[in-house]
Chains A and B, each alone.
Chain A
Amino acid sequence: MFERYTEKARRIIFFARYEASQFGAECIETEHLLLGLLRESSFLPSINSIKYIHRRIRALTPLREKISTSVDLPLSHESKRVLDYSVEEADKLKHEHIGPEHLLLGLLREEKSLAANLLQECGLSIARVREDIAARGVDSSASPGKALQTKLLKYLESYHKELGASATGPHIYVSLPSTAPFLLIEILSPVARFTEVRQRIEENLAMGFRYVWLFEPGADHVYLATQEAGLHEFKGTVLRTEDPVLELPLAEVF
């Protein structure tokens, strides 16, 4: 049943089961799926919304004696429909996997459920979530983020044959033939958290990368980070490194 589920989606189901057992519920309800989703997804607009949902579920759900987590809890009828809708949503988007975003859409489609009501109260709608999924970048092969990454790789490979450039997730790693890491390029997701991005930059510079370039597809913002100068927005037209000189005219990729 869960073959198409990503690791995150599987964890959501696991946590939903855990939440149901903590409330002493006889089956896994949509609100338990929502609580599971909150642990794994960054789709909700703010921490205030997350706190609000927790508060409302605690207020609206009867708290019974906890059930051991070893007891197998079935899904409620509503929750089963949520999972069916999630599959439909993934199929509609031509996604092979089922991830947190599809489960979120599934919850919203079960319109009369407590989970859907709470999500709507936080301003989420099916249309808005679908928009967010489309804007998310590298998750989809046709996204602006993926397209930008492909252009960057192509340019780097043709520009400097002896540089090693490889892509993993939203990152492109560029290394010199003789030494270790040199340049890290990251395609920023529209939902990337500022403090997390900054922390990753620091970790990568500490690992030996001399330059970090960050691209925000869609907004066409480019940021540059080095150990000496820290993080700053790049306002020029040609990104450049020293020793070796590597140049990237932004017009080539935007």
Chain B
Amino acid sequence: MPTGTLISVEQYLATSYRPDCDYVDGRIEERNLGELDHSSLQTAVAVYFGSRQKQLGITVVVEQRVQVSPTRFRIPDVCVVVGKATEQIFRTPPFLCVEILSPEDRMKRVKERIDDYMAMGVSYVWVLDPSGRQAYVATPAAGFHEFKGDVLRTENPVLALPLAEVFA
């Protein structure tokens, strides 16, 4: 798949990529996925919150295009919005974005994605590393940091993810 040439936002939005790609200032960026560890953890997180959507009053989606700035689109592995989602492409900041790390993910690129979500106004970003069974959290107040507990948690609304449930 050609990823080197610059394309317009319109071209990106009119194109289906398999798997879907990020769009960053004219450039298509492949996402690292497709391996079992990544897929299993992504499924586990989506199922955990997906099965509690009604109870928690949230909508859970996977691989949803999110326009984080006029010239950038990101595809979080799992995305949670409070209430019902109505936008075909999210332009309102989601409440929570979950990213699952793959062995090929570069530190710089991961941080750029987190910064993009934070700049857009996303309240929480969780980064999960299936190989090291580690979790990282980013919030506007505390920045990006490793999570040392057992249950990832958000406030207002309270969402809780026991890590033992998803790290198989």
Contacts and interface: CB of A to CB of B under 8 A. Distances in A.
Nearest to A219: B108
A230 B148 CA distance: 7
Contacts of B105: 193-195
A194 B101 contact: yes
A194 B146 contact: no
Given A193-B106, A216-B107, A46 B32 contact: yes
A168 interface: no
B2 interface: yes
Nearest to B112: A219
Interface size class of B (residues with CB under 8 A): 35 or more
A51 B30 CA distance: 13
B106 A191 contact: yes
Interface residues of A, number: 34
A190 B28 CA distance: 18
Nearest to A47: B104
A235 B4 contact: no
A198 B134 contact: yes
B3 A122 contact: yes
B108 A230 contact: no
A208 interface: no
Contacts of A47: 32, 34-35, 102-104
B6 to A, nearest CB: 11
B108 A190 contact: yes
Contacts of B129: 194-195, 198
Contacts of A232: 143-146
Contact of A48 (B4, B32, B107, B144): B32
A234 B129 CA distance: 21
A216 B33 CA distance: 25
A179 B80 CA distance: 49
A195 B3 contact: no
Nearest to B104: A47
B110 interface: yes
Contacts of A192: 106-108
A146 B30 CA distance: 29
A122 B28 CA distance: 11
Nearest to B33: A48
**Which secondary structure dominates where chain B touches chain A?**
loop
B148 to A, nearest CB: 6
Contacts of A197: 107
Given A47-B32, A198-B132, A233 B143 contact: yes
B111 interface: yes
B103 A193 contact: yes
B131 interface: yes
A188 interface: yes
A71 interface: no
Contacts of A198: 129, 132, 134
Contacts of A190: 106, 108
A231 B136 contact: yes
B2 A121 contact: yes
B158 interface: no
Interface in A108-141: 120-125, 128
A233 to B, nearest CB: 4
Contacts of A225: 146
A233 B101 CA distance: 17
B102 A231 contact: no
A122 B1 contact: yes
A229 B143 CA distance: 14
Interface of B: 1-5, 19, 28-35, 101-108, 110-112, 129, 131-132, 134, 136, 143-148
5 contacts: A46-B30, A120-B4, A190-B108, A195-B101, A230-B134
Given A190-B106, A231-B145, 8 more contacts: A45-B30, A120-B4, A123-B5, A128-B4, A191-B108, A198-B134, A221-B111, A230-B134
What are the 3 closest A-B residue pairs judged by CB atoms, nearest first? A123-B3, A230-B146, A232-B145
